[in-house]
Structure 1
């Protein structure tokens, strides 16, 4: 069912064919119902007119025969037999049945004695409502009924029919009797069945024909679209030379021409961007390398000046200290630029080994203790009950943690920097939490941008270059992990690093929550 639903969602042709067939089925069904209803009404109306005419003729003929009866004939039973026998005989030949009821005024019903009727006919075929209507003298009337018979041989077809009631007066006793003529609708039923089968056969043939025609028509439109989709997928996968084959001059051909022009323009622009990116990476790399030599010379001179600063006057000594600080920062910036250029060029590789994140965190805490004390804060490590192991590059992981801790110290505002670690069967994670100024809404996705600063006027007391979190994010992606940030203005920030236990295994969750437990809900 899932594969069918997927194919249904992806196939325009299947949806168009199915929708067309369903619409044709609805329209054809409504049309067929209307035609059948009209045919049925016409057949029944025609049959009713003929039945009424025949019943009227039979009644008139019976009255005519009774008018010739002598006034001295007082045998009412024989006269009834002489009345009904010819009608039953003609009915057997013409295919209708007849019932002669007891005289009007006798509430004995049609099932009592004295009822004359066609052989094997069930007198219950006469509707009780019509029989009650003729318990008194009444004009000719008719209604629909269900003709029922008894026995295997019958002179009238069972099934739906029409019953016509007329009254005659018998001269022998002067009483009024009711004649019920029952005419079957078997011929009309057979005709209607034939028409129904013909309509169903024609509808089935037309549905198959419509489905085939719709499939052929949509195929002419869908096939070029599918070819365009395949070419677009190959373009997206990097085959920029792919183009659509143009045939004809219709709208689809012009669409193919426009698509090819778009692909050519994209190819040209992508190549230009690749060339600019290559030149930019080469420029950064070359500049970084070229600056190494003068920086080494300036570093040597700066070291000499820094070592001899005690012999200088206070202003010159302060300048030597500032020079040394900026040289350290400049050297770090060059190193970060070189690392960024390696990431951009795709030349960064991992030297993976089993790493315990607890050991990495303790090393980083020891190296940043002096900086934390200078800022009036502490780095607190909450050790887990079990090792947090992961296949990773220890140097890169330590650089990630150092960047996170340094950034937290720089923004802690005198509060403690808390590091938590946890691990499960699939991943190992650590969080770095500070209670400083925090982040505004939307800034958690921007902190990893190169040279981005939440407050441009804020000084970098830790000596950062503005590339630390960007490099940390690239190192994390190189491991197939997650590096995420959470922050709230006035409530501090928390960064979470999640690494897979096995290199190359996709991450589905993190052992630690991104939002700290001590964060106030709704603030």
Structure 2
């Protein structure tokens, strides 16, 4: 039962916290209710306290007036006795009390008068009406009156009508034979009832006022928040691509001005987006058309260049060198056209994934073998770390091999003649390949720019080095086509590492990677925030080469 109660309480607390965070109206109404409750509560306390004090002051004034008159009257009646043992003294006590009370000695209720002589044991205390009031006189009050002082206290007790609160006033009465004490017991029942009624009235009125303020604040906040919520929903639809969404404009107030301004902004955004989409469409079409149109002249030039290249030994050294340069540049040009055509397919949405269960171990080794001659020419050792058992995943082998070829080629080119490490890992849901170099590395922020089309880390580098500038962009699109991630990490002077993560089963969603993005041998490892597995490292949409 306790666990169930705690669970319900936690669910309620979470719901309230969520409502507090998400709803401006809830926050405003809650703050209004709390502030008004504190204000009304303080006002009610002040009114109730002041009312009680006023009623008590009035009762004290009345009792003091009666006490002053009663003391003088008692002193006059006691003046006929010169000795405390006068046998008529007790009867005088009775007549005095009855006279001061002004009623039937057996009638209970109202003011109670008591006359006592505490220093004379032979004289009994007389009260009117006949009740035992001794327990209502505290020792402190009795001592103060016996010492000749007028004093009072508020006491609670029973004087014949049940327990009630009484205002007890006492005063000494001088006589010829000594001093006696006169006490008045004024019931405060009427004052308490009046104060209680005042408190109840103030609390009920305050509660109604708080509820009214809450309703008013909710209504006013709703009038303000509702257009804001409409604007938020309209903005969400606009961000989802529904560019024709607009807000309703009613009236001429500030909210209407907000709606009109929002609609103008949406119209301008729609116009700009449509224009940009048209420009992008024309650009993609131009790239695709140019790439296809250049194929025919390139084929002709390629045939002529191959013929010239095959006969270069019969030419002069200068012409032979020119034939070699022509052949090399035609290879670069053909590679660029191939990449542009591939990019245009991705842009047009025509790229298709031909996935099949494939062992990635031979794919990795095959990629390394094909770039072995390039690595040897640049003096770079490529270290391969793959599991001894097959690593099977549903992939498109051609596209994955192209990704690895681009990553490994980049690492060899930028490895500064230092070893390059290729690592293959796998878990139940994903496979991953990391390519690590120990070259110049990447500056902060370049791990995202490195995938931009035609981006280069050093613009001053000659354009003869590197590929077309589209390799990493194509690799990123290939990874996304698999539903995978392609991420980069780097630090200046500490090299770089690229990680390709693909789902084991085509169509599955990735949540983690079996290999770390930040290498364990990196000096920046301690400060990296990639120890846990991120989602896709960044929303990269374009590609390039370092």
Q: What TM-score comes out, normalization by structure 1 length? A: 0.91
**1:322 matched to 2:322:** no
Compared with structure 1, are the counterparts of its residues 386 and 48 closer, same or farther at alpha carbon in structure 2 (3 Å cutoff)?
farther
Q: Which moved more, 1:492-501 or 1:81-90?
A: 81-90
Contact 2:166 2:186 in 1 (8 A): yes
Q: 1:156, CA displacement in angstroms?
A: 5.2
Alignment partner, residue 196 of structure 1: 199
How do 1:82-161 and structure 2 match up within 5 A? 82-87=95-100, 90=103, 92=107, 95-104=110-119, 114-117=124-127, 119-121=130-132, 123-136=134-147, 138-142=148-152, 144-149=153-158, 154-155=159-160, 158-161=163-166
Alignment partner, residue 366 of structure 1: 369
- List per-residue Cα deviations over 1:32-75 (Å, max 9, x = no partner): 12211221111111111011112222222222222345889812
Alignment partner, residue 212 of structure 2: 209
Compared with structure 1, are the counterparts of its residues 120 and 335 closer, same or farther at alpha carbon in structure 2 (3 Å cutoff)?
farther
Contact 1:147 1:184 in 2 (8 A): no
Q: 1:399, 1:490 → 2: CA distance?
A: 27
**1:62 matched to 2:74:** yes
Q: 1:328, CA displacement in angstroms?
A: 0.7
Q: 1:239, 1:72 → 2: CA distance?
A: 109
- List per-residue Cα deviations over 1:6-51 (Å, max 9, x = no partner): 2332222222222222221121112112211221111111111011
**1:229 matched to 2:239:** no
Alignment partner, residue 507 of structure 1: 510
Q: Which moved more, 1:344-353 or 1:463-472?
A: 344-353
How do 1:180-195 and structure 2 match up within 5 A? 180-195=183-198
How do 1:268-347 and structure 2 match up within 5 A? 268-347=271-350
Contact 1:158 1:184 in 2 (8 A): no
Q: 1:369, 1:258 → 2: CA distance?
A: 62
Contact 2:36 2:210 in 1 (8 A): yes
Alignment partner, residue 171 of structure 2: 166
Q: Which moved more, 1:187-196 or 1:200-209?
A: 200-209
Contact 2:109 2:160 in 1 (8 A): no
**1:242 matched to 2:257:** no
- List per-residue Cα deviations over 1:382-407 (Å, max 9, x = no partner): 11254333322221111111100000
SS of residue matched to 1:429? strand
Q: 2:132, 2:487 → 1: CA distance?
A: 92
Compared with structure 1, are the counterparts of its residues 135 and 353 closer, same or farther at alpha carbon in structure 2 (3 Å cutoff)?
same
* RMSD (Å), alpha carbons: 2.5
Q: 1:38, 1:505 → 2: CA distance?
A: 74
Alignment partner, residue 433 of structure 1: 436
Alignment partner, residue 49 of structure 1: 61
Q: 1:213, 1:179 → 2: CA distance?
A: 59
| Unmatched 5+ stretches in structure 1 | none
How do 1:411-490 and structure 2 match up within 5 A? 411-459=414-462, 463-490=466-493
Contact 2:111 2:186 in 1 (8 A): yes
Compared with structure 1, are the counterparts of its residues 294 and 465 closer, same or farther at alpha carbon in structure 2 (3 Å cutoff)?
same
Contact 2:430 2:503 in 1 (8 A): yes
> 2:35 pairs with 17, 23, 27, which one?
23
Q: 1:183, CA displacement in angstroms?
A: 1.3
SS of residue matched to 1:134? helix
Compared with structure 1, are the counterparts of its residues 406 and 462 closer, same or farther at alpha carbon in structure 2 (3 Å cutoff)?
farther
Q: 1:416, 1:194 → 2: CA distance?
A: 92
Compared with structure 1, are the counterparts of its residues 456 and 100 closer, same or farther at alpha carbon in structure 2 (3 Å cutoff)?
same
Q: 1:505, 1:101 → 2: CA distance?
A: 100
Compared with structure 1, are the counterparts of its residues 503 and 120 closer, same or farther at alpha carbon in structure 2 (3 Å cutoff)?
farther
Compared with structure 1, are the counterparts of its residues 402 and 121 closer, same or farther at alpha carbon in structure 2 (3 Å cutoff)?
farther
SS of residue matched to 1:249? coil
SS of residue matched to 2:182? strand
Q: 1:454, CA displacement in angstroms?
A: 1.6
- List per-residue Cα deviations over 1:248-292 (Å, max 9, x = no partner): 222222222221111111111111011000000000000000000
**1:519 matched to 2:519:** no
Q: Give the total of aligned pairs.
A: 510
Contact 1:157 1:184 in 2 (8 A): no
Q: 1:407, 1:299 → 2: CA distance?
A: 27
